[in-house]
Structure 1
Amino acid sequence: MSDPAALDDAEFTALDLSDLTAGEVPWLRRRFVRCDFTGADLRELVTETCTFDECDFSGADLGDSVHRAGAFRSCTFRRSSLGGARFSGCSLLGSALIDCRLRPATLVDCDLTLVGLGRADLRKTDLSGLRMREANLVDADLRECDLRDADLTGARLQGTRFEGADLRGARIGADGLVQARLAGATVAAEQALAFAAAHGLRVA
């Protein structure tokens, strides 16, 4: 990849890119399928409408990278660094983020459907309006997060910490209301009634 700019609009399949250093040239409309970015240096990388399908980013450093209108579908991030990364209008459908450094990542208008974030530390992160349907958030730390209007329908919330979080307008199923740790969270009146009903209370 000696001339990165010449590779825009190209597709790459099953490449070993573990020794890659991103450099300063933005990636535009590139497509990666089952590529190995293990340990790659992707700091400050900028991508625009790029897609990554079933790629492995384990141990990669994406610190302060910027991703716009892209997709990371069924990708693996294990012990990856995403601190300072910004995702805008991106899909992370079905990807798994395991033991990653996620703070302070920025996620705007993103789809996190079926994303694996078990035990993730996302304290004080703005997750408002995100689609997180059926995401795995088991034992994740979402204390003091802004989750207003987020869609958590079907999400796995066993032991998820929401203390101090703003959940007004968020969509959470009855199972989540029972399994998550919601003490100290801010909710709207209708959510409080749903919480009471999920715990078997009768509101007169």
Structure 2
Amino acid sequence: MRAIETGLEIRPWHKAFDYKNRRTGELILTQSDDQFRDSLRVAVPRKRDLSHIDLGTSIIFGGAPLSDSQLRAACLVDADLAGANLERATIKQGDMRSANLEQAVLVGAQLSGVILCGANLVNAKMAGAMLNGADLTGSNLYGADLKGADLRDCKLNGAILEGANLDGAIRSDTSWKRGTEIKNRHTGAVILTTQSDNLADDLSQSREQRSESRRS
């Protein structure tokens, strides 16, 4: 992400900044409001396709300031939202396939029915997020904090959950019951067979066993 040079530098998250396709460099959105989230709030109801938009974090300007934003049904396929602050954001029924949300803050976010297939959610902060009915098939949730998240009817086929904090996460089905085989999404090899009805405990125990094995 680079600022436009028009005599004076226009910074990301400020009015008149251009946000581009991270693959092609084509213009997707020019910030029209003082608050970046207001520009997106206007664009989404107009069915603006925000696929591939580069909203990634930078050392100087930080992640996208989108706390409390209203992005219901937003199209953010392959968007770069690394490090974005989406705390308490509403993105119900949104399409975020293959989006980069590494280290994003999604605490208390409303993500019901969101498509997050193949999304990068490594080390994302998602405590208390509402993910009921969301599709997380093949997503990478390594190290993600899902404490107290609502995962009822959530699809997690092939998702990477190693290192994730699932304490208090809510599930309505039996997919994590004792005897469930959790597999490598690439090879199909069984990584873990649950020994209890609490996946968080089984994952924690598995990590401890691997650490002991490496030390020995």
Name the TM tier (shorter chain): 0.5 to 0.7
- In the other structure, the counterpart of 1:92 is 106
Deviates more, 1:39-48 or 1:156-165: 156-165
Q: Distance in 2 between matches of 1:57 and 1:147?
A: 26
- In the other structure, the counterpart of 1:40 is 48
- In the other structure, the counterpart of 1:10 is 14
Q: Does 1:165 align with 2:182?
A: yes
Q: How does 1:153-192 map to 2 (within 5 A)?
A: 153-159=167-173, 161-162=175-176, 163-165=180-182, 177=198, 187=202, 190=205
- Change in CA separation of 1:123 and 1:25 when aligned onto 2, cut-off 3 Å: same
Deviation sequence 1:132-155 (CA, Å, 0-9, x none): 111111121223322112101122
Q: Does 1:109 align with 2:119?
A: no
State the Cα distance separating 1:40 from its structure 2 match: 3.1
Given residue 109 of structure 2, which amino acid in structure 1 is its aligned partner? S
TM norm structure 2? 0.63
Residue ranges of structure 1 left out of the alignment (5+ in a row): 12-20, 169-173, 192-204
- In the other structure, the counterpart of 1:200 is none
Equivalenced residue count is 167
- In the other structure, the counterpart of 1:17 is none
Q: How does 1:58-69 map to 2 (within 5 A)?
A: 58-69=72-83
Q: Distance in 2 between matches of 1:108 and 1:22?
A: 24
Deviation sequence 1:110-145 (CA, Å, 0-9, x none): 111111111222223221211111111112122332
CA RMSD for the aligned pairs? 3.6
- Change in CA separation of 1:160 and 1:31 when aligned onto 2, cut-off 3 Å: farther
- In the other structure, the counterpart of 1:129 is 143
Kept in 1: contact 2:97–2:119 (CA 8 A): yes
Task: Give 1 or 2: higher strand fraction.
Answer: 1
Percent identity (aligned): 20
TM norm structure 1? 0.66
Kept in 1: contact 2:116–2:139 (CA 8 A): no
Q: Distance in 1 between matches of 2:87 and 2:130?
A: 12
